Amino acid sequence: MCCSCSPDRTTWSSTSSPAPARPRTPCCWRTAPTVASAGRSRCSRLTRCPATRPRPRPGSPRWTRSLPPACARSRARSRRWCALAETYGLTWPGKKDALALAHTPPKGHLSTPNGRLDTVERSLGDVFIEGENLEVLKLLTPEYADAVKLIYVDPPYNTGNDPVYGDDYRDSSWLSMIYPRLVRARDLLTPDGLIAVSIDDHELHHLVTVMNEVFGEKNFITILNWRKRGTGGQVAKNAIINQVEYVVCFARDAAQLRLVGLPNENHGTARWRDFRKAGGQWQRRYRPKQFFPLWVLPDGSVSLTESPGAIAVHPTDATGEEGFWENGVPTTAERIDAGELRGRIIRGRWKIEQLEVAKQTTNAGNYLEIPSTRGTERLKALLGSVVLENPKPVELIHYLLHISDLRDGDVVLDFFAGSGTTGDAVLSWRAETGRDVSYVLVTSDHPVAAGTGAALAGFSTVAEIGLARVRAAADDVEALPPRTLKLVAD
């Protein structure tokens, strides 16, 4: 017999693929430092009983790879078993409890300044809720289930060094904190909804894996790379400046998600550019049908047919290597009729140019450059002093609002709202676009530490900062302030 481990020590990774039935002797588990994807890797045989193997540090998350059979069983049987059992995922001590927490009844109720509120009706419009977000998410569920088009959250990053936000979760407790909240958040998203979660490199890898589990790998959309600063400033010797943060994006259902490009500031502007295809696979062999002569007259007019005095121009580069035109013959004929092609002598050679009119939108990319100082500047502009060091810049949220194709009646939720950047962003975006989108912000009544800018400015909780900020931002665009609700213990 193998060992005396209790079933509790057997760690299953519960990914979307169902876990196989437990073996009768559940003690032969193996913690693998590397990750293997389901079914592809070969099962390695156990050589040591877990009772004699070093145990993982308590509290640290670990990757599980397989639940091999009892040590004494045959290799063939072991292989068969592992083919079933191997799975990919992340597990950690406390995961089961964290999931259970997502489904326990809410502890408390929401209250307005006038008393208890049994349902948070969507018709309330903009809402600011003070309280523990997991409980608030549960209380939002009946009314906001399947109703939130965009969730943006900026949870504590677990860096352990933010005196105001409170940002120090130990090891797997960060996972236990984020997991149930994502589970509840998923239920609030519309079928075509998007969730975007800010993170830095402390927990990026864990976040992506947990989100894969909650939302499904097929619903992964992208990781936005936000370059928030340059490399200037003082650093400890040999330190690397942390220039980038990430925004991990998942859809509730990628098949239904519709993201749109960004408004093109040059919309409608026209410019002439080379009609010969440039860049990438530009050589003739890639599009032989698009290699043909165009006839150009001294006045620059272009034709597909030869005429007296016309010069034949081929799509060749300066060295004479043959390429191809941007369009085939039929489209080229249409574009000539529309006046979109012209001939021009450039450096002694005739070239064909095409007219390009900038479209209404440009593609959205997953790389953004926004100085993080803009977040601080905006907060200072609204509240008069620097009460927090690292609020997100409004422009980062604007980007998400733009690409999410929000329409009248859509709701944006942020349940780690902090200083209320998301509310501020929705307010200015709504004023700019005229789209009737509302926000729901949730943030805790976490006290600010004594001696910080927030405390010196007279704020006692982060929620007070957030509320003051969105009130000021609403004032800025002549909108109504949000309804305020508070989580009250039963």
Ligand X SMILES: C[S@@+](CC[C@H](N)C(=O)[O-])C[C@H]1O[C@@H](n2cnc3c(N)ncnc32)[C@H](O)[C@@H]1O
- Which residues are near ligand X by CB under 6 A? 132-133, 154, 156, 165-166, 391-392, 416, 418-419, 421, 442-444, 446, 462
Report, in Å, the least distance between residue 464 CB and ligand X. Answer: 11
Give CA–CA dist 189/292, Å, rounded: 53
Report, in Å, the least distance between residue 232 CB and ligand X. Answer: 23
Give the nearer residue to ligand X in terms of CB position, either 64 or 419: 419
Pairing state between β 411-414 and 294-296: unpaired
Residues linked to residue 109 through DSSP beta bridges, in sequence order: 488
Q: What are phi and psi of 369, to 5 degrees?
A: -120, 105
Report, in Å, the least distance between residue 463 CB and ligand X. Answer: 8
Give the nearer residue to ligand X in terms of CB position, either 313 or 397: 397
Report, in Å, the least distance between residue 86 CB and ligand X. Answer: 35
Give the nearer residue to ligand X in terms of CB position, either 71 or 199: 199
Report, in Å, the least distance between residue 193 CB and ligand X. Answer: 19
Report, in Å, the least distance between residue 181 CB and ligand X. Answer: 8
Give the nearer residue to ligand X in terms of CB position, either 211 or 442: 442
Report, in Å, the least distance between residue 300 CB and ligand X. Answer: 55
Ranked by CB distance to ligand X, the top (closest) residue is: 418
Report, in Å, the least distance between residue 382 CB and ligand X. Answer: 12
Give the nearer residue to ligand X in terms of CB position, either 172 or 219: 172
- 3-state SS track over the chain: CCCCCCHHHCCCCCCCCCCCCCCCCCCCCEECCCCCCCCCCCCCCCCCCHHHCCCCCCCCCEEEEECCCCCCCCHHHHHHHHHHHCCCCEECCCHHHHHHHHHCCCCCEEEECCEEECCCCHHHCCEEEECCHHHHHHHHHHHHCCCEEEEEECCCCCCCCCCCCCCCCCCHHHHHHHHHHHHHHHHHEEEEEEEEEEECCCCHHHHHHHHHHHHCHHHEEEEEEEECCCCCCCCCCCCCCCCEEEEEEEECCCCCCCCCCEECCCCCCEEEEECECCCCCCCHHHCHHHCCCEEECCCCCEECCCCCCCEEECCECCCCCECCECCCHHHHHHHHHCCCEEEEEECCEEEEEEEEECCCEECCCCEEECCCHHHHHHHHHHHCCCCCCCCCCHHHHHHHHHHCCCCCCCEEEECCCCCCHHHHHHHHHHHHHCCCCEEEEEECCCECCCCCHHHHCCCCEHHHHHHHHHHHHHHHCCCCCCEEEEEECC
Largest Cα–Cα distance of the chain, in whole Å?
A: 97
Give the nearer residue to ligand X in terms of CB position, either 178 or 251: 178
Residues linked to residue 441 through DSSP beta bridges, in sequence order: 128, 414
The number of CA neighbours under 13 Å toward the Cβ of 273 is: 9
Report, in Å, the least distance between residue 152 CB and ligand X. Answer: 8
Q: Collect all residues with Cβ–Cβ distance below 8 Å to 243 and sequence separation of at least 6.
A: 227, 228, 229, 230, 231
Report, in Å, the least distance between residue 158 CB and ligand X. Answer: 10
Give the nearer residue to ligand X in terms of CB position, either 165 or 324: 165
Give the nearer residue to ligand X in terms of CB position, either 153 or 221: 153
Report, in Å, the least distance between residue 167 CB and ligand X. Answer: 7
